[in-house]
Structure 1
């Protein structure tokens, strides 16, 4: 068909191809109603791209439940390049494409693998990737390609996707809307197709009714007489739509074909691969031969060759939807019988399910096996669909309940919370035994947690754990741990008390205790107030957690991140959080990384290495953005508070507190108020610091509330609220006293010194000097120097104040540095203000700063790309811009040009 009136669209496609030829990447979502010409425009782009390697795929409505079906079409020609990918990425992609067996890979690791694969292929020849009918892609492929589309930048890759609904499948991507032809072009197309002379009003009416839709202009007048076109085309019913009218025109044409031809069309509509061998094999089972079916042709509705294709996707949908249910079942049964059970078991199972007139245990079992294969490939949506259909075909009550529970779990993993809740409720309602009810309760608890219903989740998980005890004690203990995690986030003190009582009553396990058992026991002892016993128990837990199995680390390891700070063990806190990040990263469980990186950033912040903290925060935020996951800005809050940037920190604090209070998330409020107390103490605004520290310390969030106590002691002493300070010191002594770590004893000594025991300042400095807690050590020097100056020991005070000022300045703790500078000035020593490198802050973009920090820290382009979800080629492209802005030429020079507190660039 000649392209008419598409100059704007063709120009956009021409620009896309031209950019790719110059080494850039482009993404364009071409969207518009059915028949408007999207496929024709994709074909134009392919014809306009000589010298580019073209990869094509298309979504097929009947394949929407088959995981990674569209991705397999697109990537199949590139499989010879798999060996160039990093091992975790190669393994993930091979599993989802069915090239090897393995545990289900993280879907975002699959996305990174596809990005790397396209990047590698584009090193040889620029790529043009074309995906038609994207609205019918399977969910796994759509998520992966959406992920890739948002990360392409400098890979010489063009990704063109055609879909009917703007943003429904691939939201937020650059788009090109295709609308009907303008009147002049629509008239020209209509004139080229009609061989009779139509009067002007008739042509105008046809153009108006079709809205310039090219397919409608081609198809609707076909076979109609002049009288019919003049009198009937414009009489659309109130419920009619243009796609529906086009489909009806196809059906009208199909009605004129012989029975054998119509049956062939239905077989082809139900068989998504377009494989003529399968179609003819099924046709023969239904008594249809090629001679009979093709004797009079197909009126252009179907092309039979090396591949069987329809005139338009609307032909397929019209043929399939118009068939009687019995006819569709017969066709699917024939296709199931000719589909190889060994090479394509999942498609065979799906055909059998579509052919089933009612419950069928054999088919249900086959669907269940297909779900297992889908889960092994990481196809969560496909597994959910298989299990849902399997449950619907099951009569036996126990099997039906078991499959309903499996469907609920798989559906939750696929992200469909409402459907997951539906199947969990079905299982709980129909279950005749207590164990399935307990499992349904557990799923409801997970659903509440995933849905952000912070107040509901702790109680639901506690109830599930209690119901699970008689049937699966290990699962019950694991559920109690998750209940603790939910309760800690919600600040649900009553629920924590209930969990503590329940776990204390659990019978002892045979054999030596596991990390899980010790953490549960230790948390329970913390909650009921037996601090000395809790410290002993949690110390044993720390030892075992150094070798925590991957499965435990992924399921409940995030809850156990609180063990080291509960016993004031700073070295174990950093080691555990770093191990959790390494384990999650190695397992490819990227969806867990933002949370684990947040814990790592918080633990690292105590060392005062703000550049490292900023790199961690940047990775966590970039990953959360790429994965479409929410992330709490706790690390960013901590950074801004330590730096003392009041306007930036205050705005972030207010926003975070409001969001946390609205969500019922006490942990967020506690961390925010603690950060506010640190900020205001650094700025010397002690009344505000005391109020914030009191608010944080009052929250029932165990160790985080304890972190606010030193801030409360300092602020209260400075404003003369000695009773408040002593009460906070008593609480701090209860928390840190039983712990013999240098962090605990140094902090306790520093606070006691503030309350009238100044000789303990040296003790605090000695203890904190044996840790890596540089910020805490610098604050001890500052407080001691302030006390010495106020007691007229200026010479001695200068040493401690100078030490504090140098440490704060080197770390980038600007407010504390200024506070120590003012104190030094009061002793008569002149100290110039020091500022961080503003040029870096002003010239580098946020993403460039992230990359620069990671490269300066020694990461390769591949490693930086994995952390920021970019290809190595894009990292190199960014580095070129960074070098130019900083006036350097190499990674070695970058280390010198970038200030140590490069995080200050934020």
Structure 2
């Protein structure tokens, strides 16, 4: 019987009721060891059975934390017959992750989507409750996937309930049910129910006080006390932690068992897979009798049935930790011998590693093979753990250092950056050859970049690149590119660091022929940051051409997408003011990353694609991509998405939103000691204030953004600076900006560059020269497809015509500008056009056009994808949801829009945005 816990039981009962009603639920039951989490999960399991729901119950196992997807395999194994209902990519990802098929390592989010779809399919037949106890002992891959699934359960009749001491970051954002100790009266009642004889009142009070309401302590502590102690002759030691006192109580109970029983319990504790056949095979090798487990079963300490189970995880840990190292090694050796090398080579290798007395090359080789198998299943954390253990068992110092470096690289890929840095420190002790030392420095720089230590990362990578020069030209140039890119994209040219990096890259050994795209990119960037744009323009154009000529399906293209230079092509196109190439590359980045299921490259791709659509004049499309990006940012926590949200808010004239986002970005940039993100923030602020007609503020913000000289920002911020300066009467500053635009248009005469230069020239001209400049600007920008700036060119032309008292001509241009800007949702500029139109003698109805206001961001995104012909399954795969959840959202969309089918979406969405 559960003592008390009515509130907690009610919460869990509501979870079951919701799942019965077709709604998804996820919750974390958290509390200290022994506080009653498992008892509550037992209650939940009983409630589930009585409700007629399906139940799958598993538990994290401490010794399996390094085995890829071990916990996930436990959970999904009873449901795998539903895998045939999954799409082929999802089914393949799941089978590969579980070692049931071979193939390229699956992306963990593909695995997550596969598990979500599997649970949804199982729940569709019968509401399903999944219970995962001891979440803190799940392997990293399983925890990530289950956290991903838990955050996406909505319209799926599936409940996912975790029991955890301290839930990991993987479960962030899930509702929690905190389990505290029992009240004193309930604690006394529970203690009395467990006693078989009289208890001294002082001891009772002491036990209740020491247990702090912990049910396991109240039940177990008296069992480890002698009759004399229960009668009042013993005081509990207060210095021992509660978990330690509970474990001590377990060990006292175990101490009276026969030796054979204790040996069997140690075997079971050393291999918590719960496989009784393995435990009994090992017991046979030790000569233990068949009835060795009976005393432990009779005492309620363990079960030896279809699975081996301990009364509590603390009992398992107490048994294992209390054994001497010699005893631990001995049982691991026996378990390794009893493990089938064909069926479970990884577990056998792991047991052999734990049994090793000293260094052992043969076991190290076995662990390396296990690491390869784990990596092939997508278990990066498991692969890293195997490699680390292999390195520590390696006898040869040089080979050990090399394996430590490999293990550190695996830890870095698994996201364990601190652990990777520790392994690199060990690898440095060597001996490493010169190439290994350079590899260490490069990886340290990559780790620093991953941790947001961007300024330090660039300097470390620069040092590594110099080390590679006499060893490998290709590696040296790749590392110079990483260093230069890291410095250029985050820290700018503070203290001349960017120029120094560029000069070092130019002095590096030249690339052998035929050169690679990365070589052309390095040379072009180095020239840009030393000799300026005009000198570098031919090299930049050549590098962009290499990007455009690549086979997007090639392995080289994919590696470039994954490298530190992944946004390079898009930024080159922007730097060269090449709008068509920008369009091609943004589409390519998104498609390649989406096809591969690679989240961080996809986040970069969506980031640049959204920015492209803003300048194309399609703000709603940009918002739609950012809504999709939010799902990824939730998992990656990166800064880049904030840049585009800020820029979009600037174009929409949302002053409050821009202010909030700039403050947030300032805090992040300050914390990371970087400057470049602020150039984008100032660009957004300049756009906002030009739209609102606050030209002096726009001048100040544009100057701040321009002075940082960030690649790809200049072609966007200089026109803002020129427009604002011309409006404030600062003709010297405006002239300097025009000179900059003219130099760019001469060196790289694209329609974008020529059109913006013509517009700037018109702003500073009079009479026929001004009119000719505006007309040329509109023609060029139309050809470029630069829709947002086409609308603004009409606005500037109309404003000039009105000042020339050509009111009729002005109204034509201003009406065009107003209609385009209103359709875009650029409300600041649209209002400016409306006021100018009124001053020219025409009244325009003030309209607000934007996204679908009756729908949430996610509903709008799903509606737009459905409108464009995507199926529920396709939408689910794109947005990392289940198909059932997509259908749930579409039903809400239909209700809100007053329609009944997908065929009506196009007209309904168009009406809702007017």
TM surpasses 0.5: yes
SS at structure 2 position matched to 1:9:
helix
- 1:623 touches 1:869 (CA, 8 Å); kept in 2? no
Deviation per CA, 1:717-765, whole angstroms, max 9, x where unpaired? 1111111111111112222322232111111111111121312221111
Quick one: structure 1 residues 653 and 181, their matched pair in 2 at CA, closer, same or farther if it must change by over 3 Å?
A: closer
Q: How many angstroms does 1:118 deviate by?
A: 0.9
Q: What is the rounded CA distance, in whole Å, between the counterparts of 1:531 and 1:206 in structure 2?
A: 79
Match of 1:874 in 2: 885
Any idea what SS the aligned residue of 1:740 has? Answer: coil
2:558 paired residue among 544, 550, 553: 550
Q: Mean alpha-carbon deviation: is it higher for 786-795 or for 567-576? A: 786-795
Residues 844 and 188 (structure 1), Cα distance of their counterparts in 2 relative to 1, 3 Å cut = same
Structure 1 match to 2:577? 568
Q: 1:87 to 1:570 in 2, by over 3 A?
A: farther
C-alpha distance in 1, partners of 2:427/2:296?
54
2:835 — aligned with what? 822
Secondary structure of the 1:197 match is coil
Match of 2:46 in 1: 47
Judging changes above 3 Å, is the alpha-carbon distance between structure 1 residues 240 and 498 closer, same or farther for their aligned structure 2 residues?
same
Cα 1:83–1:473 shift into 2, 3 Å: farther
Contact 1:481 1:520 (C-alpha < 8 Å) held by counterparts = yes
Contact 1:515 1:544 in 2 (8 A): no
Name the CA shift for 1:183/1:656 in 2 (closer, same or farther; >3 Å). closer
| Structure 1 residue 323, shift from structure 2 partner | 0.4
CA 1:716–1:138: 2 relative to 1, 3 Å: same
- Shift in alpha-carbon separation, 1:536–1:197, aligned structure 2, 3 A: closer
Matches within 5 A, 1:745-894: 745-756=754-765, 757-758=769-770, 759-836=772-849, 840-841=852-853, 843-894=854-905
Deviations 1:348-372 (A, max 9, x none): 1111111112221111222222222
Which of 673, 686, 700 is residue 677 of structure 1 equivalent to?
Answer: 686
* Cα pair 2:224 2:252 within 8 Å, conserved: no
Report the CA distance shift for 1:562/1:292 in structure 2 as closer, same or farther (over 3 A): closer
Deviation (angstroms), 1:858:
3.9
Show the counterpart of 1:3: 2
Q: Secondary structure at the match of 2:223?
A: coil
1:484 — aligned with what? Answer: 484
Corresponding position: 1:531 with 2:544: no
Query: How many angstroms apart in 2 are the aligned matches of 1:38 and 1:287?
Result: 38
Alignment of 1:377-388 (within 5 A): 377-388=377-388
Q: Distance in 1 between matches of 2:226 and 2:525?
A: 83
- Range with bigger deviation, 682-691 or 42-51: 42-51
Give the aligned partner of residue 237 of structure 2: 237
Residues in 1 aligned to 2:547 and 2:723: alpha-carbon distance in whole angstroms: 31
Q: Indicate if the aligned counterparts of 2:384 and 2:411 stay in contact, CA closer than 8 A.
A: yes
Quick one: structure 1 residues 144 and 628, their matched pair in 2 at CA, closer, same or farther if it must change by over 3 Å?
Answer: farther
Question: How many residue pairs align between the two structures?
Answer: 899
Contact kept in structure 1, 2:59 and 2:132, CA below 8 Å: yes
| Contact 1:637–1:653 under 8 Å retained in 2 | yes
Query: Does the Cα contact within 8 Å between 2:629 and 2:641 map onto a contact in 1?
Result: no
Report Cα offsets for 1:10-30 as digits up to 9, x if no partner: 222211111111001112222
Q: 1:665 to 1:850 in 2, by over 3 A?
A: farther
The alignment partner of 1:834 has SS state of: coil
Cα gap change, 1:122/1:734 in structure 2, threshold over 3 Å: closer, same or farther? same
Alignment CA distance shift 1:213-1:826 (3 Å): closer
Q: Show the counterpart of 1:21.
A: 20
The alpha-carbon deviation at position 225 of structure 1 amounts to 4.3
Q: 1:497 to 1:545 in 2, by over 3 A?
A: farther
The residue aligned with 2:500 is 498
Distance 2:435 2:351 in 1: 34
Give the Å deviation of 1:535. Answer: 4.4
Question: Cα distance, 1:466 vs. partner?
Answer: 2.2
Q: Is the 8 A contact 1:58 1:134 kept in 2?
A: yes
- Secondary structure of the structure 2 residue equivalent to 1:606: helix
Residue matched to 1:32: 31
Contact persistence 2:452–2:672 (CA under 8 A): yes
Instruction: List aligned pairs for 1:510-529, cutoff 5 A.
Output: 510-527=512-529, 528-529=531-532
Q: What is the aligned partner in structure 2 of residue 370 from structure 1?
A: 370
- Cα distance between partner residues in 2 of 1:5 and 1:293: 34
Question: 3-state SS of the aligned residue for 2:331?
Answer: helix
- Residues 828, 168 of structure 1: alpha-carbon distance in 2 compared, 3 angstrom cutoff: closer
Give runs of aligned pairs for residues 280-319 of structure 1, distance below 5 A: 280-291=280-291, 294=294, 299-319=299-319
What are the ranges of 5 or more consecutive residues in structure 1 without an aligned counterpart?
none
Q: Secondary structure at the match of 2:55?
A: strand
- For the residues of structure 2 that align with 1:405 and 1:54, how far apart are their CA atoms? 44
From 636, 657, 661, give the equivalent of 1:648.
657
Is residue 24–residue 153 contact of structure 1 (8 Å, CA) maintained in 2?
Answer: yes
Q: 2:545 aligns with which of 530, 536, 540?
A: 540
What's the TM-score, normalizing by structure 2?
0.94
**1:58 paired residue number:** 59
Evaluate the alpha carbon distance shift between residue 227 and residue 601 of structure 1 in structure 2; reply closer, same or farther with a 3 A threshold. same
Structure 2 CA distance, aligned partners of 1:888 and 1:367? 59
Q: TM-score, normalized by length of structure 1?
A: 0.95
CA distance in structure 1 between the aligned counterparts of 2:353 and 2:513, rounded to whole angstroms? 47
1:605 aligned onto 2:614 = yes
1:176 is paired with a residue of what secondary structure?
strand
Does the 8 Å CA contact 1:67/1:374 hold for their aligned counterparts?
yes
What secondary structure sits across from 1:130 in the alignment? strand
For each residue in 1:840-892, what CA deviation from the matched residue of structure 2 results, as whole angstroms up to 9, or x when unmatched?
42x43343334334434443333333343322211222222222223232333
State whether residues 531 and 735 of structure 1, in contact with CA within 8 Å, keep that contact through their aligned partners in structure 2: no
Distance 1:179 1:588, change over 3 A: same
Alpha-carbon distance in 2 for matches of 1:195, 1:424: 58
CA contact (8 A) 2:264 2:292 kept: no
Report deviation, 1:428.
2.9
Report the secondary structure of 1:57's partner residue. Answer: strand
Which sits farther off after the overlay, 396-405 or 828-837?
Answer: 828-837
1-side partners of 2:668 and 2:61: how far apart?
A: 41
- CA separation of 1:167 and 1:386: change in aligned 2, threshold 3 A: closer
